[in-house]
Amino acid sequence: MDNLREARTYGGVGSILSAFGIFVPYVGIPLLIVGFVLEVLAVDKISSVLNEKEIFKNYLISIVVGLAGVAIAIILGIAYLGIAILRGFLATEMIYSRREFLFSILGFLLLVLLVVWIASIVAAIFLKKSFDLISKKLNVSLFSTAALLYLIGAVTSIVIVGFLIMFVANILKIAAYFNIPEATTQAPSSAQPSSSS
C-alpha cells in the first residue's frame, strides 16, 4: 500500500498558496513560489507512487511551455524597447506620427498577448493530460474537471470570462488535492505483467 498523504498535503497547501498567496501583502510573491514548488512535489509524488511517469512528464511540459511563453514575451518586450531607444538616438527628426506610434505599440502588445495566449493553451493541454491520468488512477474526478476548466479558461482568456473560469479551476484543484486518498492499493500500470503458469 503506497502512501499518498504527502502528495495530498503538498498539493492542497501548495494550490492554496498558488491561488491566494499573491494577495498577502509583502510576502505574496514568495508564497506564490512556495505554493508552486509544493504543487510540483505533489505531482511528482503522485507520479512516483502510481509509477506513471506520464503524469509528471506532462505536468513538467506544461510548466516549461508556460514559462517559455512568458520568457518569450519578456524578450520581445526588451527587444522592442531596445529598437525604440535606438531609433530615438539615430533619428534626426520624428519618424512616426502619433497615430503611427500608437499603432506600433498596439501591434507589439497584440503580438506579445498572442504568444502568451498560445503558450497558455498548449500548457493547459499538457496539464489536462497529466490531471486526467491522476483522475483516472486515483478516481478523483475533480482533477479532470479542474483541468478541463483550465483549458477552457486558457482559450477564453482573451476576454475576462477566461480568468474567472481559471479561478474556478483553481478552487476545484484545491478540492481535488484534498480528496486524494491517503494510500492506494492499485497496481502500477507500468509494472511487469505477471507470468501465467
Whether 16 maps to a domain, the answer reads no
State the residue range of the domain holding 114: 52-180
Whether 25 maps to a domain, the answer reads no
Whether 1 maps to a domain, the answer reads no
Q: What pLDDT band is residue 126 in, cutting at 50, 70 and 90?
A: very high
pLDDT, tens digit (0-9, with 9 covering 90-100), for 10-23: 999 999 998 888 88
Whether 40 maps to a domain, the answer reads no
Summarize the confidence of residues 184-191 as an average pLDDT.
51
Whether 156 maps to a domain, the answer reads yes
Provide the number of structural domains found in the chain.
1
pLDDT surpasses 50 at 39: yes
pLDDT: which is higher, 189 or 8: 8
Whether 10 maps to a domain, the answer reads no
Q: What pLDDT band is residue 194 in, cutting at 50, 70 and 90?
A: very low
- Does the pTM of the predicted model rise above 0.85? no
Instruction: Kindly write down the DSSP assignment for every residue of 18-86, as one continuous string.
Output: HHHGGGSTTTHHHHHHHHHHHHHHHHHHHHHHHT-HHHHHHHHHHHHHHHHHHHHHHHHHHHHHHHHHH
Whether 21 maps to a domain, the answer reads no
